[in-house]
Structure 1
Amino acid sequence: MTTITASPPQQSTRMTSRQVAVLLVLLASQFMMAADFSVLNVALPRVGADLGFTAGNLQWITTVFALCAAGCTLVFGRVGDLLGRRRIFIAGMAVLAVASVLGGIATAPPVLLVARALQGLATAAVTPAALAMLTTAFTEPGLRTRALGLNGVMMSSGFTVGSILGGVLTDAFSWRWAFFINVPVAVAAVVVVPLVVADSRAERRSRLDAPGALLITSGLFTLIHGITRAAESGLDTLACASLIAAAVLLAAFWTVERRTTDALVPVRMLRKPDIAFANAAALLIFGGETALIFFTGLYVQNVLGHSSLVAGLVLLGIGAGQILGGTIGPRILERVSPRTLLGIALIGQGAFMLPGIRMSAASHWLIPLIAAQFVNAVFSMLAMLAFMVLSTSAADSGRQGMATGMATQSQQVGMAIGIPLLSAVFTTSVGDKNSGAGVAGQLSGIHAALAVDSLSLIVGGVLLWLVLRRKERH
């Protein structure tokens, strides 16, 4: 892939009024979909008490969303290529509105879980479609990088603001408003998008790779279920069976894709270093940042004893850092290649998690924690932008839905497995589950989880920097 440089003078560096309208509509939808992932995180204890969830089943409110979002994103991205991205976007928004009403009126666990599953499916449809429409609306490299930078800001800050908003709505009104607030936004998107966003699809008509779609969806479902189960109950029979089944299904998917003409994911795309390594990096970027937010909430509430609202407000440091990163990222990419930036940003993201392993039970740690997380968020946003540029610029316009579907799926899988994997580290460090109720036990587990999170990002960043730099020279 060619290194991104400053746009030539003859190319437009200003967005047209229509591009601005497209950008506003699509970014608003991306923000809302990202917020949906996390909006109930800090409200889970209240939801459980109101609806009668057991302590062991409470995590499924988040997990069932992640399963559907991560498992189906790639399929919906490809369906958007074939049937029209705007059509898939509008259908997804309509499903989100229905799901949000259902979740808001839920009076029993099964109803709420169905609503969260439908929200996950809506996210799987809307997110890659919106991103593909964004990349096809902005074809000039400089404008596309700016649009992707803003998209990264909205998605990442949406996840952070979702946690804050969940705390505010739960404390001030009810957790049900975390669902109801989606309805007017989704309805507005269904009405406005056809007016301002042109439809796009692949120029060459082809069939949907149904066997590949079935294998990748079921493979990811079982993989995420196995990881979640292992984190919750250890490597018991069910967890091992899920992980083995996932390995078989994903291996079968790879075999099928190599032999299919209209493959869901052509193997030649995965052989492109930019696409392959960028999507691998996304697992670290999003998994690491999701886990950081989760353990920050745990530290503020369970160790320091503050409310869910305070826990949400502490996360404003991450939100501010992401906004700054998204603002300066396009300018940095005018001078530094996305390959170089990706490795450096991953290292920076991991390095500024390290102060977390020194946190104590004293409240004065909040200030240095917020400061470190602010810088961490700047680096994480730079990594997200470099990842998105690499993963989408190597694909032609007819494969943008596929490329953005892969990119979005990597994000969703990272977000889905980050917390369970590091929760297993947390649980192992705590040891006896009864000791986990104490401040010292929880703090020890948080230190261990953040140490593994930080080192994974640093090591991954160094390896990616070395590999991608070598590719760049050749």
Structure 2
Amino acid sequence: MSVTDAEATGASAQAAPAVLTPRLRLVLVLLLAAQFMLAVDFSILNVALPVIGQGLGFSLAHLQWIATAFALCAAGFTLLFGRIADLFGRRRLFLAGLVVLAAASLGGGLAQSPEALITARVFQGLATAAVTPAGLSLLTTSFPEGPLREKALGLNGALMSAGFTTGAILGGLLTDLLSWRWAFFINVPVALAVLFVTPAVIRESRPDERPRLDLPGAVSVTLGLLSVVLGLTQAGEHGWGSPAALLPLAVGVVLLLVFGAVERKVSAPLVPLGVLGKRSVAWGNVAGLIAFLTETSLVFLLTLYLQEVLGFSPLAAGLSFGVLGIGTVVGGSVAPRVIGRIGSKATLVSGGILQTVFTAALLGLGDHRSSMWLLLIATFAGGVGNMLVIVGFMVTATSGLADHEQGLATGLATMTQQIGITMGTPIMSAVATAAMTGAGAAAVLHGLKTAVAVNAAVVLLGVATSAVFLRGARSSAR
């Protein structure tokens, strides 16, 4: 690009439309439909895993690879694909990812063996790693900094979080009423519809000059992220002290250190250290990591509470999270107005405090179904707070950067989201299991309450980091 970051950002702001035009509305609908579909994919198979295992002959030990194969690729390749989107065209990568997603979903639905299903999940994960940052960067470059971008990111965040909850509900309904295969098939018509309309509505977005791809950096960061995510998923199954967890985690840390050393030396780094040095990018992503880690793992803990303590069926437990989904939609809807009034940093802090208070309120849950009123109120209000943090994180982590860096910024934000979702469950599962000092519902409840307390403390830590380290960072309040 021939302009500086400040000039590019200023030019975008001057050209920013004041209202949503019909074309921008269609752009928003298309990109949100794709992001919602990808969010649903994260959780739609959770309820169906035992049924899939029985149908295809998965051993109990290998069943977790249905989720792990997806998570590894979705988290490990997202930063690389985010940068590729910047270099070779965001719309081009977005469309290519949708083609792969549709084909992989069709293949997963038709799978007749464990190997075929795992292969389909790998390609679904790769498609997610491509479509998510490309779609987000198309969103941020279509809606320059200001109220419209904040509104678009608010809706995007709300639908992504609601999609995670919807996936759990939809997976149960499809498995009970039709077949687990429909959890795959449902992606195909949505992907094809977005694929068909996108070329006529969304313009290509890429830099005027194409720098060389930092291959050593790409290889080291991708392998490093794959190793870290593998270690985290293995920790959830084998424990944090097991060689299966410690070895890949150690390898991942070494590779990420190598990546940092490479980025200091190459002329066209995959992740320019100047971008990572921006407080808004670095600490905004920390806030986002904590937000995704805590809320998705809280859903896991409450799922165990509903089934193991209160005796709910998987479908009834999934439906109970509908209130949480409503809370995230409300939070995403009001977040742009809150950011416009008090700024993104204050929104991160206030949303985190709200989430902390209502997560801590769940310590009052008991072993009777009369506790449901507390669970529903707390998950609704906590969902609102969590969504304020997520939208605040997205606005903070993508602000103050030129258009040619938006793929990188959204790639980092997407990586943060994927790793947060992946880390949360094994960490909180380990905490809960360690605190279960006996058998029966009482022991389970004690372990879950311990994990909920840790969850609330981690949210509070996120509030503190935002309050302290985002001081002086650029705010979008007007």
Q: RMSD over aligned Cα, in angstroms?
A: 1.9
1:335 aligned partner = 341
Aligned to 1:387: 393
Hey, what's the Cα distance between the residues in 2 that align with 1:330 and 1:237? 45
Whether the 8 Å CA contact 1:347–1:462 is kept in 2: the answer is no
2:62 is aligned to 57
Mapped to 2, the partners of 1:431 and 1:176 lie a distance apart of: 39
| 1:221 pairs with one of 226, 242, 246 | 226
User: In the TM superposition, what is the alpha-carbon distance from 1:431 to its structure 2 partner?
Assistant: 5.0
Question: Quick one: which of 167, 180, 185 aligns to 1:180?
Answer: 185
Q: Distance in 2 between matches of 1:242 and 1:441?
A: 32
Could you give the per-residue CA deviations for residues 408-467 of structure 1, whole angstroms, max 9, x where no partner exists? Answer: 1110111111111111112212257xx3xx322322222122111111111221232122
Alignment of 1:230-379 (within 5 A): 230-234=235-239, 235-379=241-385
What residue is the counterpart of 2:462 in the other structure?
A: 460
Q: Does 1:117 align with 2:119?
A: no
Residue 335 of structure 1 aligns to a residue whose secondary structure is: helix
SS at match of 1:469: coil
Q: Does 1:130 align with 2:132?
A: no
**Equivalent residue number for residue 96 of structure 1:** 101
SS of 2:62's partner is: coil
Answer yes or no: is the 8 Å Cα contact 2:231–2:246 preserved in 1: yes
Q: Could you say if the C-alpha distance between residues 58 and 156 of structure 1 is closer, same or farther in structure 2, counting changes exceeding 3 Å?
A: same
> How far, CA to CA, are the matches of 1:202 and 1:56 in structure 2?
47
**Is the CA contact (8 Å cut-off) linking 1:204 and 1:398 kept in structure 2?**
no
SS at match of 1:353: helix
CA distance in 2, matches of 1:472, 1:91: 35
Indicate the SS of the match to 1:42: coil
User: Is 1:66–2:71 an aligned residue pair?
Assistant: yes
Which residue, 410, 416, 441 being the options, matches 2:422?
Answer: 416
By how many angstroms is 1:9 displaced?
Answer: 12
Q: Mean alpha-carbon deviation: is it higher for 462-471 or for 297-306?
A: 462-471
Answer yes or no: is 1:77 the counterpart of 2:79: no
Name the amino acid aligned to 1:212: G
- Is 1:443 paired with 2:445? yes
Question: How far apart in 1 are the matches of 2:349 and 2:265?
Answer: 33
TM-score by length of 1: 0.94
Structure 1 residues 326 and 350: CA distance shift in structure 2, 3 A: same
Residue 351 of structure 1 contacts residue 458 of structure 1 at CA under 8 Å; is this kept in 2? Answer: no
- Per the TM alignment, residue 46 of structure 1 is displaced from its structure 2 partner at its CA by 1.8
Shift in Å, 1:91: 0.7
Comparing 316-325 with 11-20, greater Cα deviation is found at 11-20
- 1: CA distance between counterparts of 2:48 and 2:428? 21
**Cα distance in 2 between the residues matched to 1:315 and 1:456:** 22
Q: Distance in 1 between matches of 2:88 and 2:16?
A: 31
- Structure 1 residues 174-183 or 351-360, which shifts more? 351-360
Which runs of 5 or more residues in structure 1 are unaligned?
3-7
Q: After superposition, what is the alpha-carbon deviation per residue over 1:284-309, rounded to whole angstroms, capped at 9, x for unaligned?
A: 00111110111222222222221222
Paired residue type of 1:289: E
- Tell me how far apart the structure 2 counterparts of residues 195 and 389 of structure 1 sit (CA, whole Å): 28
When residues 138 and 32 of structure 1 are mapped into structure 2, their CA distance, relative to the original with a 3 A threshold, is: same
Quote the Cα distance in structure 2 between the aligned partners of 1:397 and 1:270: 16
- Number of aligned residues: 464
Partner SS for 2:470: helix
Pairing partner for 2:176 from 168, 171, 175: 171
- Tell me the distance in 1 between the aligned counterparts of 2:323 and 2:226: 33
Q: TM-score, normalised by structure 2?
A: 0.93
Structure 2: runs of 5 or more not aligned: 7-12
**Is the 2:331–2:388 contact (alpha carbons within 8 Å) kept by the matching residues of 1?**
yes
Q: Secondary structure at the match of 2:367?
A: coil
> Structure 2: how far apart are the matches of 1:131 and 1:50?
36
